[in-house]
Amino acid sequence: TAPLTILGLESSCDDTAAAVVRVSEGQPRILSSVVFGQTDLHAAFGGVVPEIAARAHAEKLDTCVKQALTKAELTLDGIDAVAVTSGPGLIGGVLSGVMCAKGISVATGLPLIGVNHLAGHALTPRLTDGIAYPYLMLLVSGGHCQFLIVKGCQDFTRLGGTIDDAPGEAFDKTARLLGLPQPGGPSVEREAIDGDKSRFRFPRPLLDRPGCDMSFSGLKTAVLRARDSLVAEKGGLSRQDRADLCAGFQSAVADVLAEKTRRALDLYMAEAPQIPNLAVAGGVAANCEIRTKLKTLSHDSGVGFVAPPLSLCTDNAAMIAYAGAELFAAGHRDELDMIARPRWPL
């Protein structure tokens, strides 16, 4: 079969991204992957401001596409199709990307492919490690938290997920409570190194309930209470207090994720996969304690463990181009009436 070269666009949250991926003889290769972050634009507001994000995407997308093509040493003539995140996400941003992709499609006649952002994350281990279907995926970031059995590029079984905050959100809020810099995950992890994780016994929510659903919002409330009682007792937090709070919090998140992953692995293994694999994606998968627990767990169950490099775990367009390539190969095409979807469960 002829090689397939896909241009991918991503703009569903606070990263404007474009990438070119080529699949040749079944082997994908990233020819370019450009990401313009917007962290600075939103820093003063304590979170992503949808209107600011949408405007910045609209302003940056064409530059981003041009850079991706230049780095791939291609023009649009060398592209076979345009893939774009068409949901779920902040609607203004998704619309910016969809309109850009439609513009390219109208101008060039290239086929258009709408990609589910979550499918992009979920298919990344195939882009990076070429693993076979079906595999178990744990997607853990600032906005997502779910277990999926990935059986095909349009075939996902959701086993469970958070019923409130995503773990990354809990790390970020905990950091804020303790006066640590954002993003909270890395700062909490750094603080926790010198901490005693057994000093504070934080709750492990939903472990008493069957299934793979999780809850992380109570955990941050527990940290808040522990902080306030320390402050009431001694007028402030010592460095050690902060480290112990971080260590206790992190180990609670890791325990919940590990126990729920154990259950998800049971459900997955019941499907008798030939080459079983657990793949993780999302910013939280960068956490050493969490990563080590999941790795041990999968090895103990005779399951491979795949963690794509962080630059491909967080939002990027290479994953969208790759998912687009699989969809294209499966015969999927979208028309110019394709809509941008704020919600779009897999």
Among ligand KG4, Zn ion, none, partner that 183 touches (CB below 5 to 8 angstroms by kind): ligand KG4
Which is nearest to 122 in space by CA: 106, 137, 110, 133?
A: 137
Minimum distance of ligand KG4 from residue 331's CB (angstroms):
30
Residue 120 annotated as binding site: no
Task: Return d(Cα 121, Cα 211) in angstroms, integer.
Answer: 23
189 annotated as belonging to a binding site for a ligand: yes
CA distances, 139 to each of 4, 43, 74, 275 (Å) = 27, 25, 33, 20
C-beta of residue 139 within 8 angstroms of C-beta of residue 148: yes
State in angstroms the smallest separation of the CB of 268 from ligand KG4: 22
Least separation in angstroms between CB 140 and ligand KG4? 8
Cβ nearer to ligand KG4, comparing 46 with 103: 46
> Per the annotation, does 185 bind a ligand?
yes
- Asked if residues 130 and 23 have their Cβ atoms less than 8 Å apart, the reply is no
Q: Among candidates 105, 86, 103, 102, which has minimal Cα distance to 94?
A: 86
Q: By the criterion CB under 6 A, which residues form the site for ligand KG4?
A: 13, 141-143, 168-169, 171-172, 183-186, 189, 282-284, 286-287, 314-315
Give the Cα separation of 191 and 61 in Å (integer): 37
> In the bound complex, which residue of the shown chain has the CB atom lying closest to ligand KG4?
185
Per the rule left: phi > 0, alpha: psi between -120 and 50, beta: everything else, 181 is beta
CB of 15 to ligand KG4, least distance (A): 8
194 labelled binding-site residue: no
- Which residue number, 6 or 119, has a Cβ lying nearer to Zn ion? 119
Q: Which does 114 bind (CB under 5 to 8 A by kind): ligand KG4, Zn ion, none?
A: none
**Applying CB under 5 A, which residues contact Zn ion?**
315
C-beta closer to Zn ion: residue 16 or 251: 16
Q: How far is the CB of 77 from ligand KG4 (least distance, A)?
A: 33
Give the Cα separation of 98 and 113 in Å (integer). 10
Distance of CA 51 to the CA centre of its chain: 22
- 114 is annotated as contributing to ligand binding: no
Q: Which residues fall in the annotated binding site for substrate? A: 139-143, 172, 185, 189, 287
Binding residue positions for Fe cation: 117, 121, 315
